[in-house]
């Protein structure tokens, strides 16, 4: 018994003093391995008389458990020590000035987002936001797309695991659920844009599984299609930085707007690799829009007998591609520094309506 207690205290002292994981592993093998000191003692149980086994068995089991527990505790402590040492050695002082040889630049998506926000702020729009992981109810049902409705197939959806409550969630397939969030929380007048990330099961040169949209929503008394047309027109003139543009509205279908329209802008693509706006015989697709469906207003607590509204949703990445001549949407998200140096914007050149959006 004295031997067991002595062995235990020796082993526990060695374990506590083990300087690293390799030394700890060597100790584990020498105590608990096939031929380890503790294992050998455990084997001797088989040669003992039943009486001896009754007294020695619990003592030996206690020894084995104490050594196993001490090794696990030391292993966790050594892991913490290693992590803290790594955190200390890799610490970055974010208050240091930038190195002159590594100049950062603004990503074209951030630039375009800044430009669009500025244009709409000038027209009196506030910016509203919503989460990337959205209620299925807000992404679809409240927007007049009930479960099992074929319109759900218009957008290939990433469904996500339950988020700890009863509600079904998705990665939002468009920025339109921000309309729902805004209307549920505010009565008209409403005038918002909501730029942000959106997700669909989609990937090629003009489609990305993660992309950006900007949504606009206006709800008030007497809002009509003329307001929608004027807003799209003014926005396009400011964004593409040209005074004359020609827009074309095509009838379309979205379950959450009635009537629904898609907008095209006149352009000239006769010179390969170039695009000129406001002239030419080609048309460029901008995005979808329409008058907010009365059922959507009612679903969100707004009286459709008193109020009407318009909404539109444009692809922000596509607008950046058009404005800055970027041929492939996937390159936005490849984190290639050479690409960013070519297409990026100087960090301190903040866009302004009078100083130039894209200087």
Q: Which residues bind ligand FA5 (CB under 6 A)?
A: 155, 174, 176, 200, 202, 207-208, 211, 213, 215, 254, 257, 287-290, 311-313, 315, 317-318, 329
User: Which residue, 78 or 151, is less far from ligand FA5 as judged by CB?
Assistant: 151
* Least gap, CB of 244 to ligand FA5 (angstroms): 23
- List, in sequence order, every residue forming a beta bridge with 217; answer none if it has no partner: 192, 311
In angstroms, the CA 329 to CA 196 distance is 16
Short-list 110, 160, 127, CA closest to 332:
110
- In terms of DSSP bridges, do strands 126-127 and 190-199 run parallel, antiparallel, or are they unpaired? parallel
Q: Is 301 helix (H, G, I), strand (E, B) or coil?
A: coil
- Percent of the chain that is helix, strand, coil (3-state, to 5): 45, 20, 35
* Least gap, CB of 202 to ligand FA5 (angstroms): 4
In angstroms, the CA 117 to CA 104 distance is 22
User: Which residue, 33 or 304, is less far from ligand FA5 as judged by CB?
Assistant: 304
Is the backbone peptide bond immediately before 258 cis, with ω within 30 degrees of 0?
no
* Least gap, CB of 246 to ligand FA5 (angstroms): 19
User: Which residue, 15 or 297, is less far from ligand FA5 as judged by CB?
Assistant: 297
CB contact at 8 A, 162 and 152: no
* Least gap, CB of 312 to ligand FA5 (angstroms): 5
Short-list 263, 238, 246, 244, CA closest to 323:
238
* Least gap, CB of 180 to ligand FA5 (angstroms): 12
When CB distances to ligand FA5 are compared, the closest residue is 315
* Least gap, CB of 285 to ligand FA5 (angstroms): 6
CB contact at 8 A, 133 and 160: yes
What are the distances in angstroms from CA 236 to CA 228, 241, 261, 263? 12, 8, 16, 11
């Amino acid at each position: 018994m004295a031997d067991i207690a002595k062995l235990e205290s020796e082993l526990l002292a060695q374990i506590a003093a083990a300087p690293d994981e390799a030394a700890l592993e060597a100790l584990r093998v020498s105590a608990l391995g096939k031929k380890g000191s503790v294992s050998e003692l455990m084997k001797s149980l088989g040669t003992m008389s039943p009486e001896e086994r009754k007294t020695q068995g619990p003592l030996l089991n206690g020894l084995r458990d104490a050594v196993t527990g001490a090794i696990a505790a030391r292993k966790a402590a050594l892991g913490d020590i290693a992590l803290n040492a790594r955190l200390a050695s890799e610490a970055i002082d974010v208050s240091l000035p930038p190195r002159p040889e590594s100049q950062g630049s603004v990503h074209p998506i951030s630039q375009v987002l800044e430009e669009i926000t500025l244009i709409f702020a000038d027209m009196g729009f506030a910016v509203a936001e919503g989460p990337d992981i959205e209620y299925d109810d807000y992404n679809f049902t409240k927007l007049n797309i009930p479960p099992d409705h074929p319109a759900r197939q218009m957008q290939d959806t990433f469904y996500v695991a339950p988020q700890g409550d009863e509600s079904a969630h998705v990665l939002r397939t468009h920025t339109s659920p921000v309309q729902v969030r805004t209307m549920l929380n505010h009565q008209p007048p409403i005038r918002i844009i909501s730029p942000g990330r959106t997700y669909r099961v989609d990937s090629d040169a003009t489609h990305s599984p993660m992309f950006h949209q900007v949504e606009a929503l206006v709800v008030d008394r007497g809002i009509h299609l003329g307001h929608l047309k004027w807003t799209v027109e003014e926005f396009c003139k400011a964004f593409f930085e040209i005074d004359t543009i020609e827009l074309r509205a095509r009838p379309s279908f979205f379950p959450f707007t009635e009537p629904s329209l898609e907008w095209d802008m006149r352009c000239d693509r006769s010179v390969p690799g170039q695009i000129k706006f406001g002239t030419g015989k080609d048309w460029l697709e901008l995005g979808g829009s329409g008058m907010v469906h009365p059922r959507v207003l009612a679903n969100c607590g707004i009286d459709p007998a008193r109020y009407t509204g318009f909404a539109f949703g444009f692809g922000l990445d596509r607008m950046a591609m058009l404005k800055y001549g970027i041929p492939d949407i996937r390159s936005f998200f490849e984190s290639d520094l050479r690409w960013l140096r070519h297409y990026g914007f100087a960090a301190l050149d903040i866009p302004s309506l009078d100083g130039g959006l894209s200087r």
